A and B are shown apart, each in its own frame.
Chain A
Amino acid sequence: MGADMSPSLVTLRAVSKTFQTGTRALDNLNLDVRPGEFLTLLGPSGCGKSTALRIIAGLMAPMSGQVEWGCVKPELGFVFQDPTLMPWASVEDNIWLPLRLRGQSKAQARKRIDEALALVGLSRFGGAFPRELSGGMKMRVSIARALVTRPAILLLDEPFAALDEITRFRLNDDLLALQKELAATIVFVTHSVFESVYLSSRICVFTNRPGRVTQEIVVDAPTRDSDFRASALFGQTCQQASAALERAYGLEGAI
């Protein structure tokens, strides 16, 4: 529990959210995100993972409870489940957007745009339009756009859920490499046990109705590669996470 001592980057304290429709998406959620970690929110769909992420991002206010940032709110990047690109703008212009909205001309943003493109391996595709790219490439553009402001914390909401397995594995590895290179903190949402164990340093398992964290799993593995996927630790952790997820579904022993 030594890691718990490090000051957290952001803390959610007793956060609750009820929508106008009466759906209680989050109930008394306590969550802290520590600097440099890869935190995954794992849970059945509809349990409030996206809501939690959007509250962290400030896209939505909690009904009660607090969101406390360590010192000042750091630069933040957000990646949606869909690539969410502007179809009328080239890849470059899509990546330029966050800086453009802050008043930077394209010339001023040039260096950052090229950097972000290189980070996701799309240097040759700056002039392409989203329609001309594959699903995986569009997701990379979306990640590059989130990276262009050099965020200290990157929030990803099931970014690879719609992609095929091979592409997903590749993007998983790329994401890990990116984190290493940028020393960013990542909060990642998924409903895939394998993906969560492979990527995370810590997993928070969410439960349905009311949405909150039921279990925390620390994944203590220094390297993430195909060896890790084949290791006993990976298998054990997956079982542990599956069991927690099944309890969250209220279907223990089933599936």
Chain B
Amino acid sequence: MKRLIEKLAPWLLFAAAIGAWEITVRVREIAPYILPAPSVIAATAISDWPLLWAALLVTLRTTFLALLMASFGGLALALLFARWRWVERSLFPFAVVLQVTPIIAIAPLLLVYLETDAAVLTCAFIVAFFPVLSNSVLGLRSVDRNLVELYELYGASRWQQLRLLRLPAALPYFLGGLRIGGGLALIGAIVAEIAAGSAGKGAGLAFRIIEAAYRLNVPRMFAALALISLTGIAIYVTFSLVSRLLLARWHESEI
């Protein structure tokens, strides 16, 4: 019984919060353009679905494309870093500069130089890239010294060492980077969309929020916001599941 309550508690709390919100809005008769009730937001999400769905697809496309580029780019660069220290020493500062400069400050500049779509994609890529890179470098470096010697003892080639030893050893770290990078790619995409602020064929969720704000369509703002949150959660859950699937039998983090 106690276990059941512990399991249900987070859900009950969530439901209670939504319920309180609904009741407050109704009892105090708050206008929807100030604070819409959850039921109104849900209704808006359904009625505006074609518009929101198209926008969601645009944002998702940017996010996953950026993440894909960040995964391959981050892993490839990490391999170079792990192989040659001097490559790391010369290139890592650039990666750090890109990482510590807030993306919202870089976005307008990118918009000057690039097409809107490309600029948004680049922003999302930049923020997703760093966690993948630094985690992969860490993973490739954390290989058991003795295992490396064992491979040398049996005359393993560099390629064998990479494929059979370094990549599997780095996998948990890489997946961790991907999990963080996934969330950040979404944030990067949203930020860049807001900075771009233009409509056109490729209007993402963030643009729909701004557009709705101009029109004081607060329920739609909330609906779009909810979609963004759900997307972020879905990305995180997906990568957690992938991670569990791949590591379940051997890595301490997934016991």
Tell me the minimal C-beta distance from B93 to chain A in angstroms. Answer: 28
Tell me the minimal C-beta distance from B16 to chain A in angstroms. Answer: 41
Q: Would you call A131 and B144 a contact (CB within 8 A)?
A: no
Instruction: Report the separation of the CA atoms of residues A101 and B165 in the bound assembly, to the nearest whole angstrom.
Output: 11
A88 within 8 A of partner (CB): yes
B146 within 8 A of partner (CB): yes
Instruction: Report the separation of the CA atoms of residues A59 and B149 in the bound assembly, to the nearest whole angstrom.
Output: 7
Find B154's partner among A89, A102, A129, A131 (CB 8 Å cutoff): A102
Q: A59-B149, A82-B146 are in contact. Are A88 and B250 (CB under 8 A)?
A: yes
Q: A88-B250, A101-B160 are in contact. Are A76 and B153 (CB under 8 A)?
A: yes
A108 within 8 A of partner (CB): no
Tell me the minimal C-beta distance from A143 to chain B in angstroms. Answer: 13
User: Which residues of A have CB within 8 Å of B169?
Assistant: 86, 88
Nearest A residue to B160 via CB reads: A101
B51 within 8 A of partner (CB): no
Interface residues of B in 77-122 (CB under 8 A from A): none
Q: Interface majority SS on B: helix, strand, loop or mixed?
A: helix
Count of residues in B whose CB is under 8 Å from the partner chain: 22
Instruction: Report the separation of the CA atoms of residues A58 and B155 in the bound assembly, to the nearest whole angstrom.
Output: 11
Tell me the minimal C-beta distance from B252 to chain A in angstroms. Answer: 8
Nearest B residue to A128 via CB reads: B249
Q: A82-B146, A86-B147, A129-B250 are in contact. Are A59 and B164 (CB under 8 A)?
A: no
Q: Would you call A88 and B156 a contact (CB within 8 A)?
A: no
Instruction: Report the separation of the CA atoms of residues A84 and B146 in the bound assembly, to the nearest whole angstrom.
Output: 6
How many of chain A's residues touch chain B, expressed as a range?
20 to 34
Q: Interface majority SS on A: helix, strand, loop or mixed?
A: loop
Instruction: Report the separation of the CA atoms of residues A16 and B146 in the bound assembly, to the nearest whole angstrom.
Output: 22
Q: Would you call B154 and A98 a contact (CB within 8 A)?
A: yes
Nearest B residue to A87 via CB reads: B250
Interface residues of B in 123-172 (CB under 8 A from A): 144, 146-147, 149-156, 160, 164-165, 168-169, 171
User: Which residues of B have CB within 8 Å of A102?
Assistant: 154-155
B26 within 8 A of partner (CB): no
Instruction: Report the separation of the CA atoms of residues A59 and B151 in the bound assembly, to the nearest whole angstrom.
Output: 10
Find A101's partner among B151, B252, B255 (CB 8 Å cutoff): B151
Instruction: Report the separation of the CA atoms of residues A51 and B160 in the bound assembly, to the nearest whole angstrom.
Output: 26
Interface residues in chain B, defined as those with a beta carbon under 8 Å from any beta carbon in chain A: 144, 146-147, 149-156, 160, 164-165, 168-169, 171, 249-252, 255
Please list the 7 inter-chain residue pairs (A to B) with the smallest Cβ-Cβ separation, ordered nearest first. Answer: A84-B146, A101-B154, A87-B250, A88-B168, A101-B156, A98-B154, A88-B250
Known: A59-B149, A78-B150, A87-B250. 13 other contacts (CB 8 A): A57-B153, A58-B153, A78-B153, A82-B146, A84-B144, A84-B150, A86-B168, A86-B169, A87-B251, A97-B164, A100-B164, A129-B249, A130-B250
